[in-house]
Amino acid sequence: NQAGDTVYWSAKSRLQAGKAYAKGPHLSYLMKKKDYDGRRYSDAELDQASRLLRLELRLGREFFLRAEPWYTFTKSYLVNLWENYFGRMLGGCEVKTDNELLENCISAAPTPGQGRSAYALWCLIKSEGWERAQNITSRPTWYRNLKILRASGLGDADFSAGNVVHLRRKIIEVTLAKSWADLRNVA
């Protein structure tokens, strides 16, 4: 948006698009509008909301053309769509050491050899960088190993923008807050 406080993914996609913004500033902005007639939030609620990052998934026309009729969608189906879309960015299981990643790769792969190959690709990415590793790996091997690495707990943040992001402890706690009561419990 104009203030630059919103991040968009695949904004022009007719299938799925994502959006992230800080909820607290957005609520403050809405309440300051002259024509706002919604709920008035207390200072305490605004303070709690200032710790929220809202992640929205928009399903486009193409999605509905490919999917079952919209009226058959269940809440769990929609939650699953959201989790699949944003899960890559938020990360799955926490990986603490290279040895744990190797074990996870071997467990996630169809064969132990493919697991070791995926781990070797991770080592190559760490030492040479994303682009160079991709250039010297065959296309099928690259995508097979990336699939295993993602299933092993690495996400887009670990491969972000071609930068090498070394394994780290989880530093941001991600908790789904569906209501003000949920927010109070996690705050």
pTM: predicted TM-score of the whole model, two decimal places: 0.55
Interval 48-103: pLDDT, tens: 888 888 899 999 999 999 999 999 999 999 998 998 888 767 655 555 677 888 99
Q: Is 58 helix (H, G, I), strand (E, B) or coil?
A: strand
Question: Is residue 169 one of the residues assigned to a domain?
Answer: no
Counting beta carbons within 10 angstroms of the beta carbon of residue 19, is it exposed (0 to 12), middle (13 to 18) or buried (19 or more)?
middle
Name the residue with tokens 């058959």: 72
Question: Is residue 184 one of the residues assigned to a domain?
Answer: no
Q: Same structural domain for residues 127 and 148?
A: yes
Q: Same structural domain for residues 84 and 118?
A: no
Q: Same structural domain for residues 15 and 55?
A: yes
Model pLDDT, residue 162: 46
Q: What is the domain range of residue 36?
A: 6-92
Total domain count, the chain: 2
Helices (H), the chain: 23-32, 43-49, 61-66, 75-90, 98-108, 112-128, 130-135, 139-151, 156-159, 180-186
Q: Which residues are 18's β-sheet partners?
A: 9, 57
Q: Same structural domain for residues 19 and 66?
A: yes
Of the three residues 76, 92, 108, the one that is the final residue of a domain is: 92
Tens digits of pLDDT across the chain (187 residues): 445 678 888 889 999 999 988 888 889 889 999 999 999 999 888 888 888 888 999 999 999 999 999 999 999 999 989 988 887 676 555 556 778 889 999 999 999 999 999 999 999 988 888 888 999 999 999 999 999 998 888 877 677 644 444 545 555 566 777 777 777 776 6
Cα pseudo-dihedral 97, 102, 104, 107, rounded to 10: -160
Q: Is 73 helix (H, G, I), strand (E, B) or coil?
A: coil
Q: Same structural domain for residues 27 and 76?
A: yes
For residue 75, is it left (φ>0), alpha (ψ between -120 and 50) or beta? alpha
97 — phi, psi (to 5°)? -135, 165
